Copies of this chain bind each other. A is one copy, B any other.
Amino acid sequence: MTNVRIYVTYKESVFDPQGDTIKQAIHALGHDEVADVKVGKFFDVQLDPTKKDISTAVKEIAEELLVNFNLETYEYKVMEEV
């Protein structure tokens, strides 16, 4: 089995209201060292590479389910073999 972490973020051009709200809350707590906050999701997916090629599986799962390509983009990283 292979652990893959798929990161989903808003596209650069899309406003991130949750990140903006968190930034304001952080500033309200006095943390003026924080300049910006963006929020994203990740999915730790355990895959069997003997059943399907990792990059093909990730691409299919992202396109079919995990990513809204109108607003979001994704990248992934192979984390470890287990």
Binding site for B on A (CB under 8 A): 1, 7, 9, 19, 22, 25-26, 29, 31-49, 51-52, 57, 60-61, 64-66
Contacts and interface: CB of A to CB of B under 8 A. Distances in A.
Decide if the interface of chain A is mainly helix, strand, loop or mixed.
Answer: mixed
B35 A46 contact: yes
Contacts of A40: 41-44
Contacts of A29: 61, 64-65
Given A37-B45, A39-B43, A31 B1 contact: no
This chain: how many copies in the complex?
2
B45 A42 contact: no
B33 A43 contact: no
Nearest to A39: B43
